[in-house]
Amino acid sequence: MKKFTTLYAGVLALGVSATAVLADGATPAPLPEAPKFDAQGQVNFVGINDILEYKALPEYKEPEFVTEYVKAGKLPPVNDRLPKEPMVYKSGNMKDGVGVYGDVMRHVIGGRPEGWNYWAGQIQGWGGIDIGLQECLTRTGPLFQVKADELAPLPNVAKSWEWSEDGKQLTMHLIEGAKWSDGDAFDADDIMYHWEFNVLDPEVNPLGNETQETFGKGSKLEKVDAYTVRWTFENAFPTQVLYSMAYPTFCPGPSHILAPQHPKNSKNTYEQYKQAFGPSYMGMPTLGAWVPVEHRPDDIVVLRRNPYFWKVDESGQQLPYLNEMHYRLSTWADRDVQAVAGTGDFSNLEQAENYVESLKKAADPASPARLEFGQRTIAYSLHFNLSGNGWGKPDERGQAVRELNRNIHFRKGVTSMLDRQRLGDSLVKGPFAAIYPGGIHPGMSFFDAGSTVYYPYSVEAAKAEFALAGLADTDGDGVLNYPNSGKNVEITMLVNADYQSDKSLAEGVVAMGEAVGLRVIPNIVAGNDREAARKAGNFDWHVWRNASEFVTAVQNTERLAPTGPSTSDWHKAPEGGEVDLLDFEKEMVDVVNKFIATKDNAERKTLMAQYQKLHTENVYTAGLTAYPGALIVNKRFANVAPGAPIFMFNWAEDNIIRERVYVPADKQQNFELYPGKLPDVPGGKGVM
Ligand code: GLA
Ligand code: CA
């Protein structure tokens, strides 16, 4: 009887306390409506065939100084440098029409080049350097201007493709007779080299992070002939995969230069392969419009026009129009300052701390720069490292955090402790920031408010959820302790030092954690080290500026969930192991795979709504804030694609289609550092 009473009392007590705690736990609330903010740029929606085509033109032209190289016997004639059927940009889609040669686009960037081996994972400094060098099978940046009912990746290095009847094979036709910037032929061997020696080799981690799963589990690629490759998939008609063939995930490299350095063909280690083309190596062959010709550390990277570039305008002029590209090696904040002042030409205004000052300056009619706000495509999330089985080799402390991260009550506690209004206001006051619970960005085409589970800011709810996760401040020092070890919970949060917004948001998270007894220690490191740490899984939490999957849902879709061993940025498999998926992650993987497998738009909407519910209800990530960015371009440039967002399918450096941007003759400036020069041979002295 006594025993029963005790047991009964215990159950009763548990029942009561559990109810009490649950009542105070995280309870979803309707998502507050975002402040009204209209995008300023007017997009001129078109079909894909309105933008470009591939065809031979009766004659081709080049800048006069390039003809001098031809006359001197240093370069073949332009007709021989171009492919049989170059890509032709249609004048009707060029805001200011056919352009003229000359001038420079002066970029300012906060990144630093590690080297030119993009395919083995080297960072080139971001800010559009690699986007201007690499050309990929397909292209998605300019899709912001493609009509919804025609939305599909643009052809690029792959000029056309067709599906087999059963939909399991995709045959791609490459541009024929195009050449790398050093004159070497581009063909299917370059595609196959990237696939076999970089993508499929588990020791090589390309900058775009592509693995076999990026193109679908079990996907295969083979060469048919010099200009034809064929993909084989497990599913029928996975047309979605065409997005994965765009930047950054299938941009082939010059196999004639890379292959001899690969560990399978040389005595090199994988690290030596990666480092084989360091930052001082000039003339790395590209398919892009420009080629690196100078690097002065912490000062500048200069690119000159690629005389073999394979795109032309309708009058037959070989592109690009701009002879040179500058990348001043400074800070991202300085990019905004210089673009507004006119000493730089371009910026993605994305650090909200700089909005007020930049807006004020750009409002002056005499301002040298045009500033145009877009939609809310910039957002930040807090990522929980969800691997419980060893990815990133955590120590005992780290492993304990991983287990907390895998606990739904803990994640609900974290999302509830975040005062998102205050986080947004800490960056900039005004109608910019929206409450962003996580997942698909508010206002984007696949966003469904009704399927978004929003746990509002509540200190009480956060504390209650942490209690349910078993945490209590047992030693009374104000910091929550683990139930078993009795140690204080300490979480390290990876933060990019290169951006003020990342640091401001991290500061907010630390303060908000403190208010509920959670000790969060920021690990603020420079961009390149941050990238290495996150790729290796060396973090508990990570403050992250979202990639395009959460804006478009169709770009990088496979990354919305751990669909493969390394597709998710915060839940990868340990070496040789598997991803230890949580139950809701299994459901997300299933939904994402279904989304990838279907072309039916209504079904896709439903699936993405299911995904959003799973993501937000289970706090797969904790959204921090979402806000619009503004594109700043110097007013002397013509043909900047109207309404180009700073970020959507890709960054604005891709979206504005720089190879057809020009400066009218009467506005040209003498900014060229190497007028009249062309890139030298690979590994040579820069210009010749
Ligand atoms: C950095 C910048 C972005 C954009 C990209 C391009 O991430 O912050 O604005 O320029 O580089 O890769
Ligand atoms: Ca304590």
272 domain residue, yes or no: yes
Atom 10 (ligand 1) nearest CA: 127
Mean pLDDT of 353-375: 95
Question: What pTM, to 2 d.p., does this model score?
Answer: 0.95
pLDDT digits (tens, 9 = 90+) for 623-660: 999 999 999 999 999 999 999 999 999 999 999 999 99
Is the Cα torsion angle 346, 347, 348, 349 positive or negative in sign? Answer: negative
pLDDT digits (tens, 9 = 90+) for 254-305: 999 999 999 999 999 999 999 999 999 999 999 999 999 999 999 999 999 9
16 domain residue, yes or no: no
35 domain residue, yes or no: no
360 domain residue, yes or no: yes
Cα(558) to ligand 1 centroid in Å equals 22
The residue out of 579, 595, 627 marking a domain boundary is: 627
Asked if residue 280 and residue 408 are part of one domain, the reply reads no
Cα(127) to ligand 1 centroid in Å equals 4
pLDDT digits (tens, 9 = 90+) for 161-200: 999 999 999 999 999 999 999 999 999 999 999 999 999 9
Asked if residue 208 has its Cβ within 6 Å of ligand 1, the reply is no
Asked if residue 598 and residue 506 are part of one domain, the reply reads yes
Ligand positioned closest to the Cα atom of 488:
2
Cα(542) to ligand 2 centroid in Å equals 23
- Say which CATH number the domain at 104 has: 3.40.190.10
Cα(391) to ligand 1 centroid in Å equals 28
Asked if residue 281 has its Cβ within 6 Å of ligand 1, the reply is no
Asked if residue 224 and residue 266 are part of one domain, the reply reads yes
Asked if residue 128 has its Cβ within 6 Å of ligand 1, the reply is yes
Asked if residue 420 and residue 331 are part of one domain, the reply reads no
Instruction: Specify the 3-state DSSP secondary structure of 295.
Output: strand
Cα(128) to ligand 1 centroid in Å equals 7
Pocket test for ligand 1, best of 651, 655, 658 (most atoms within 8 A of CB): 651
Asked if residue 355 and residue 458 are part of one domain, the reply reads no
pLDDT digits (tens, 9 = 90+) for 41-81: 899 999 999 999 999 999 999 999 999 999 999 999 999 99
Atom 1 (ligand 1) nearest CA: 127
Asked if residue 663 and residue 561 are part of one domain, the reply reads no
Asked if residue 350 has its Cβ within 6 Å of ligand 1, the reply is yes
163 domain residue, yes or no: yes
Query: Hey, how many other C-beta atoms are within 10 angstroms of the C-beta on 1?
Result: 5
Asked if residue 434 and residue 546 are part of one domain, the reply reads yes
Asked if residue 126 has its Cβ within 6 Å of ligand 1, the reply is yes
Phi, psi (rounded to 5 degrees) for 569: -75, -15
36 domain residue, yes or no: no
Angle at which helix 459-468 crosses helix 2-24, to 10 degrees, equals: 140
Alpha carbon distance 384, 199 (integer Å) = 27
- Domains of the chain: total: 2
331 domain residue, yes or no: yes
Asked if residue 228 and residue 175 are part of one domain, the reply reads yes
Q: Which residues contact 212 (CB under 8 A, 6 or more apart)?
A: 199, 200, 218, 219, 564
In this prediction, residue 2 carries a pLDDT of: 37
Cα(416) to ligand 2 centroid in Å equals 20
Asked if residue 346 has its Cβ within 6 Å of ligand 1, the reply is no
Asked if residue 387 and residue 342 are part of one domain, the reply reads no
Q: Which atom of ligand 1 is nearest to the CA of 129?
A: 12
Asked if residue 642 and residue 505 are part of one domain, the reply reads no
pLDDT digits (tens, 9 = 90+) for 522-577: 999 999 999 999 999 999 999 999 999 999 999 999 999 999 999 999 999 999 99
Asked if residue 325 and residue 430 are part of one domain, the reply reads no
Q: Which domain holds residue 256?
A: 48-366+635-667
315 domain residue, yes or no: yes
Asked if residue 289 and residue 408 are part of one domain, the reply reads no
Asked if residue 653 has its Cβ within 6 Å of ligand 1, the reply is yes
Asked if residue 544 has its Cβ within 6 Å of ligand 1, the reply is no
- Say which CATH number the domain at 459 has: 3.10.105.10
Cα(245) to ligand 2 centroid in Å equals 50
